[in-house]
Chains A and B, each alone.
Chain A
């Protein structure tokens, strides 16, 4: 295929990366319209979420439909700590990631030995439990009204107010996500995760503690969702349970599958395609899900490994 040979030519790939990095660094100078920059900020948010999810889904082959819950855990942690206890944003960011990580371990332990469909069902259940608790525990989460008036975050005296400020904050988080994930997947751990996806029984005979590794990979993937949630809280300045519905988890999975599983940056392509599609077709309101469905079916039919992916979806 022509597209594949283009991807394999190192010169084009390198040029593509350099161009993308330059574009990323100077984007707010080029895009002056705040509406468009806002869309880009949401793309960055979803890119962080999807890269974390890709570790779980694309590398390890665990279909988690509860990613929005960990995103929400991060969001609520930051919102509550900032508005009620006056924590600084940076400490909230770290704590949010860790809270999501701990809950990832908590969910990972009972699900470590269940396979495929059952794992998927348990994560859906967890996601729904989280959303219902967030809605019903009014004293703590303010229920369906959500938490409003989250103040402007400050990092070492830099107050983050404008879309452009948030863009650079998001880009820093995305860079952090990419670098830490790259370190992980290029180590023996990354190979172990892929081995579990390819053949769990054979992986265990290769000396891989598959149950433990599934807990680790799940928790690490959730950590990034916690970071993204924290970013969402300060960016939107409000957090409500409806930010973290099952539809959000589904959207993330669609983005990962469309972009491509099992390669670090590929989900970003899915994020860009799906975000642009949803924004472009905003005018036709609920019918846009129809178009998103068509995009997804087309990708799965003609490029089952996703736009830039290396491994095809299998259940």
Chain B
């Protein structure tokens, strides 16, 4: 059974068809890439999957469970977390606190515990801090844990956003253009980091425009065009596909 099955996902905004009959599967432990020209519906797909929108048609099956149209916070608790295309770290709180927010749904403390069971709450807090620090160590951000997130360099903020997403131990991590605005060195670091995540058992679904990056990271690539699935294959197959080249060169002119 696949980790994620998307069955004929469709999404209309009024009369505009943003996604049309997109079906795909993601297997446990793989790194799947999604590419496509601007406006082809990549981000809309992720937004539907992560619960920010409800799809108009079709269904998402995750871990053999129908998660179509559930609220975003419920889907996160079930083990899908994500980052955003336009960086969305919490700017005015520290790096450590950003990651701790990511752990929110894994800290098992109720309001009752907060007021009447101090020891349980304190223990849960210190465990959460240890866990958050462990993730920051892996991303080499531990030394900057007390800095405000907005004071980190851009590439580090991107990394922080990923840390915040993976600290809750998701089964599936959705990355929406993680390379946007990064320099080549930061891109290579990110590619290495994603491979570390794969070794830790996280399945990664990554949207990216940068071909060099996606070809080096992804094991399988899905191409979207005009809201529909256009092609699917290994990086080598996609690179040599004349039709894929055509939609890219036709629309944008840069590969």
Residue of A186, A206, A209, A210 touching B101 (CB-CB under 8 A): A206
- In B106-126, the 8 Å CB interface with A consists of 106-107, 109, 111, 114-115, 118, 121, 124-125
Interface-lining segment among A191-199, A238-246, A279-287: A191-199
Q: Which of B50, B52, B90, B107 has the most CB of A within 10 A?
A: B90
Give chain B residues whose Cβ lies under 8 Å from the Cβ of A312: 92
In the bound assembly, the distance between CA atoms of A207 and B78 in angstroms comes to: 9
Given contacts A188-B109, A192-B101, A192-B104, contact A207 B88 (CB under 8 A): no
A205 touches B52 (CB 8 A): yes
Asked whether A204 is an interface residue with its Cβ less than 8 Å from the other chain, the reply is yes
In the bound assembly, the distance between CA atoms of A194 and B89 in angstroms comes to: 12
A199 touches B88 (CB 8 A): yes
Asked whether A132 is an interface residue with its Cβ less than 8 Å from the other chain, the reply is no
Report the interface size for chain A: residues with CB under 8 A from the other chain. 28
B93 touches A198 (CB 8 A): yes
In the bound assembly, the distance between CA atoms of A195 and B91 in angstroms comes to: 10
Asked whether B73 is an interface residue with its Cβ less than 8 Å from the other chain, the reply is yes
Q: Which of A186, A188, A194, A203 has the most CB of B within 10 A?
A: A188
Asked whether B76 is an interface residue with its Cβ less than 8 Å from the other chain, the reply is yes
Q: Mark A283-315, 1 if CB is under 8 A from B, else 0.
A: 000000000000000000000000000111000
Give chain B residues whose Cβ lies under 8 Å from the Cβ of A203: 101
Residue ID in chain A nearest B88 by CB atoms: A202
- In A114-144, the 8 Å CB interface with B consists of none
Given contacts A198-B92, A205-B81, A206-B164, contact A188 B50 (CB under 8 A): no
B115 touches A180 (CB 8 A): yes
Asked whether B128 is an interface residue with its Cβ less than 8 Å from the other chain, the reply is yes
B76 touches A207 (CB 8 A): yes
Asked whether A184 is an interface residue with its Cβ less than 8 Å from the other chain, the reply is yes
B52 touches A195 (CB 8 A): no
Asked whether A189 is an interface residue with its Cβ less than 8 Å from the other chain, the reply is yes
Q: Which of B50, B88, B89, B104 has the most CB of A within 10 A?
A: B104
Give chain A residues whose Cβ lies under 8 Å from the Cβ of B164: 206
Residue of B51, B90, B114, B128 touching A198 (CB-CB under 8 A): B90
A202 touches B76 (CB 8 A): no
Asked whether A201 is an interface residue with its Cβ less than 8 Å from the other chain, the reply is yes
Residue of A189, A201, A205, A262 touching B114 (CB-CB under 8 A): A189
Residue of A184, A188, A202, A262 touching B84 (CB-CB under 8 A): A202
Residue ID in chain B nearest A188 by CB atoms: B107
Q: How far is the CB of A101 from chain B (nearest CB, A)?
A: 12
Q: How far is the CB of B133 from chain A (nearest CB, A)?
A: 15
Residue of B76, B109, B121 touching A205 (CB-CB under 8 A): B76
Residue ID in chain A nearest B90 by CB atoms: A198
Residue of A191, A201, A207 touching B97 (CB-CB under 8 A): A191
Give chain B residues whose Cβ lies under 8 Å from the Cβ of A210: 73
- In A254-293, the 8 Å CB interface with B consists of 262
B114 touches A184 (CB 8 A): yes
Give chain A residues whose Cβ lies under 8 Å from the Cβ of B73: 204-210
Give chain B residues whose Cβ lies under 8 Å from the Cβ of A184: 114-115
Q: How far is the CB of B135 from chain A (nearest CB, A)?
A: 14
For this complex, 24 residue pairs linking A to B, each with C-beta atoms less than 8 Å apart, are A187-B125, A188-B100, A188-B107, A189-B114, A191-B93, A194-B90, A194-B101, A195-B104, A198-B91, A199-B90, A201-B88, A202-B84, A202-B88, A204-B72, A205-B73, A205-B82, A206-B105, A206-B164, A206-B168, A207-B73, A207-B77, A207-B106, A207-B168, A209-B73
Q: Which residues of A contact B (CB under 8 A)?
A: 180, 183-184, 186-189, 191-192, 194-195, 198-199, 201-210, 216, 262, 310-312
Q: Which residues of B contact A (CB under 8 A)?
A: 50-52, 71-73, 76-77, 81-82, 84, 88-93, 97, 100-107, 109, 111, 114-115, 118, 121, 124-125, 128, 164, 168
Given contacts A188-B107, A202-B84, 13 further A-B contacts (CB under 8 A): A188-B109, A192-B101, A194-B93, A198-B90, A201-B88, A204-B51, A205-B51, A206-B73, A206-B101, A206-B102, A207-B168, A208-B73, A312-B92
